[in-house]
Amino acid sequence: MAIAPQTTIRPLADDRAIERAVAKSPGENPRGRLAIWAAQFVDPAPGARGSSRTVLPEARALFTSTRPHGPRLPARPTPEHPNRPRLVSLPRSPFSEERPMTHDAKVAAEAAAVLLGNYNAPPISLVRGEGCYVFDSEGKRYLDLMGGIATVGLGHCHPKVLAALEEQAHKLWHVSNLFGSDPKIRLAEQLVEHSFADRVFFCNSGAEANEAALKLARRYHADRDDPRPEFLAFERSFHGRTLFTVSATGNPAYWKGFEPMVDGFSFAPFGDLEAVRQAVTPRTAAILVEPVQGEGGVWPSPRGFLEGLREIADAAGALLIFDEVQSGMGRTGKLFAYEHSNVTPDLMTLAKALGNGIPIGALCVTEACAGVLVPGSHASTFGGNPLATACGSAVLTELLEGGVLEKARATGDFLGQRLDSVARAAGSRVVESRGLGLLRALECNGPVAPVIDRCREEGVLVISAGANTLRLAPPLIISEAQIDEGVDVLEHALRDVLAG
């Protein structure tokens, strides 16, 4: 039985309310009653105020005979689908004789009942991670080729990061920035020693690091009696979701409904130095760029591009900001992606893999920019948190002293070669294979969501970067054998799902 997308149902708070609604349900159709029961898990309809809700696609899918993507899977594991999740019964269902809900659908419905709808419904729910693998509640294993979106650089529950977290958890969690604490100083020392930077500000995310960078850039010029309200950023870029950083993001899809955006941003085509020259003015505070555009589709800087930006920024008296939130921390085979070029920025932002999954962000700056953020000018309650910075320190130590970077360079090349050959064999299905190190993409000839779904069903997690582009950002510790395992699945999925 299919439920119309706009079916509205009274919210059902408890079993008695459910029973009441069931008593009033049309006819005695038990599936209809189950639909009403399931509707307690669904999200509010846009604009709805309390009393009406819209049945989610996930709830709806329970009563339809086809899955949203791809062919229907068998109800239990078979030799062709050994990882097929088992169907489980929902607790509290007054209709347990009805077709049972899958565990995944239950999680999606539960999430939709209590979380805001800003993320798509989760297709699966994960409970454990170890190295390059994650596991769902039924023990199904997935090879993680997306690393929590380029965040779990050392793999899940890395023993050395775990040890650092545990050790720090027994000592001190939080004291505020009114006091000194060892871990943040140690991590700042490491970042300073291994980058262009002289000083570091800690925060909690990539958006916050970019927010701090943009604020610093404006204030840098204001301090010199040369107010410069403008920034040059790039088309297809992504810098975060705060109002300032989403305004810096060169993709209007992210702006919708949040206007007016922060004033002062213009966008040049990525890689086009002539356009940059035209766009930079004496009012430009900074040029903001990802050395490898991540969310926008995995686009490494063309040769000479970063050098050209440095020249243009210097000539205009503007600062140069590298957003290495995604490309940093070994992702491209060097500690920072700018090391593939011959230049350094004035400011660099980090987050994601800096904490290997523990929330942390950092703004790294040169001495010339360091005096701008004086006491009272900018702050973050959790910035420099002892737990997060202790993890960051363990991550850097492992990257630099544990041989992870060198190994990631080799496996990055291997992954690139494997994807290049997949692209060649896939003919018109794949438009391009591109990337750097262990940040890779296959641009396809159509939407990749069904390919991602198929890979997941076969036990491999990949992600998109735009509708038609598959992105791979596995843990840096991945082995060649694991790359083979994952790319084989991906190759089959591409062939099965995309039209040639």
Ligand X SMILES: Cc1ncc(COP(=O)(O)O)c(C=O)c1O
Neighbours of 258 (CB within 10 A): 11
Quick one: CA torsion of 192, 195, 199, 200, rounded to 10 degrees? Answer: -100
Cα 44 to Cα 54: distance, rounded to the nearest angstrom? 6
Q: Kindly list the distances between the CA atom of residue 381 and the CA atoms of 124, 134, 218, 386, 443, in Å, as whole numbers in the listed order.
A: 33, 32, 22, 12, 41
Residue (36 or 362) nearer to ligand X, CB: 362
- Identify the burial level of 499 via C-beta atoms within 10 angstroms of its C-beta, where 0-12 means exposed, 13-18 middle and 19 or more buried: exposed
Binding of ligand X by 323 (CB under 6 A) = yes
Check residue 122 and report its DSSP letter. Answer: P
Q: Which of 181, 284, 326, 482 binds ligand X (CB under 6 A)?
A: 326
The least CB distance from residue 70 to ligand X, in Å, is 27
Residues 220-259 that bind ligand X (CB under 6 A): 238-240
The least CB distance from residue 358 to ligand X, in Å, is 12
Binding of ligand X by 206 (CB under 6 A) = yes
Scan for tokens 């006491």, then name that residue: 375
The residues that bridge with 296 in the sheet, in sequence order, are none
Which of the ranges 160-168, 182-190, 289-297, 446-454 carries the binding residues for ligand X, by CB under 6 A? 289-297
Residue (21 or 203) nearer to ligand X, CB: 203
Quick one: CA torsion of 419, 438, 118, 9, rounded to 10 degrees? Answer: 50
CA 143 and chain centroid, separation? 17
Residues 348-387 that bind ligand X (CB under 6 A): 351
The least CB distance from residue 258 to ligand X, in Å, is 15
Name the residue number minimizing CB distance to ligand X. Answer: 206
The least CB distance from residue 321 to ligand X, in Å, is 11
Q: Which of 108, 207, 365, 404 binds ligand X (CB under 6 A)?
A: 207
Assess contact for 436 and 340: CB atoms under 8 A.
yes
Quick one: which of 10, 3, 98 has its CA closest to 48?
10
Binding of ligand X by 469 (CB under 6 A) = no
Cα 157 to Cα 154: distance, rounded to the nearest angstrom? 8
* SS3 call for 345: coil
Residue (302 or 403) nearer to ligand X, CB: 302
Binding of ligand X by 210 (CB under 6 A) = yes
Residue (7 or 237) nearer to ligand X, CB: 237
Q: Which of 58, 290, 398, 491 binds ligand X (CB under 6 A)?
A: 290
The least CB distance from residue 442 to ligand X, in Å, is 19
Residue (276 or 465) nearer to ligand X, CB: 465
Residue (85 or 206) nearer to ligand X, CB: 206
Residues 128-187 that bind ligand X (CB under 6 A): none
Q: Report the relative pairing of strands 126-130 and 439-444 from DSSP bridges.
A: unpaired
Helix axes 159-169, 386-401, angle to 10 degrees: 150
Residue (172 or 262) nearer to ligand X, CB: 262
Binding site for ligand X (CB under 6 A): 205-207, 210, 238-240, 290, 294-295, 323, 325-326, 351
